[in-house]
Amino acid sequence: MKAYKGLLIDLDGTMYRGANVIEEAPQFVEQCREIGIPYLFLTNNSSKTPDQVAGKLNGMGIAASAENVYTSSMAAASYIDHHHPGANVYMIGEEGLEQELRHRKMTFVEEGADVVVVGIDRHLSYDKLGRAAMNIQNGARFVSTNGDKAIPSEEGFLPGNGAITEAIALTTGVRPVFTGKPEAIVVRQALERLGIDKEEALLVGDNYYTDILAGIHSGVDTLMVETGATSFRELNDVQAQPTYKIKTLDEWKFLS
């Protein structure tokens, strides 16, 4: 164990489960504030704006502002702006993705796109899928916020952005660039936002296949909690293990 200069903290399964706060989460974040460790909440949710994410957290007693939030939509918009500045984009997605693309001065088009960018869209239509596919077949680059094929709901699992993305990929034969967890893109961008090196950061999450692998792919130490998606027994067959494992967040001891 060592003293870290910044934390990247997952949300669903780590801070809360759906609409319910995880008991130990508010105090964990409060300890970060008391010690003076900067933190970013790192989420694959592309539908919400940073203000909306922070509002939900504050409503649960978890201290957050928009500046403490980094989403897969932010990662996608930043990636596009870096590789295709001023791009014409065709977007499938919701408010969170649209806001980030507008912030980066992207132009929204129906055809002739330089980039097709896909996020979760709960108003998805066949026409939207078709337009995305046609733009890609006509040469547009293909970017997706994340590859989560399913998302949890109170009724069970629902199709995630990965399922939408896969439909377009199967149609066009083109694989996208994913910008969210477990890819290193979002972690590198988040570290730049915090102003720290990867050796100085700790990524905290519950899902081995998104959170923990994001840290492993980025060379960042990881802390896995058993309050969400992945149980410790599921790690018996994986080679790359988390740096640390704890049952609940209150077991973690901060070093200053």
Phi/psi region, residue 18 (left: phi>0; alpha: psi -120 to 50; beta: rest), is left
B/e letters for 61-71, b = 16+ CB within 10 Å, e = fewer, are: ebebeeebbbb
- Tell me the CA distances in angstroms from 179 to 77, 161, 171, one per residue in order: 9, 12, 21
- The vertex-220 CA angle with 5 and 214, nearest 5°, equals 130
Cα torsion 28, 34, 39, 44: sign? positive
**Active-site pick, 10, 114, 206, 221:** 10
Would you say 145 and 118 are in contact if contact means Cβ atoms under 8 Å apart? yes
Please confirm, yes or no, whether 10 is among the known catalytic residues: yes
Q: Give the three-state DSSP class for 107.
A: strand
Cα torsion 18, 189, 30, 14: sign? positive
**Active-site pick, 12, 121, 148, 211:** 12
Residues classed as catalytic: 10, 12
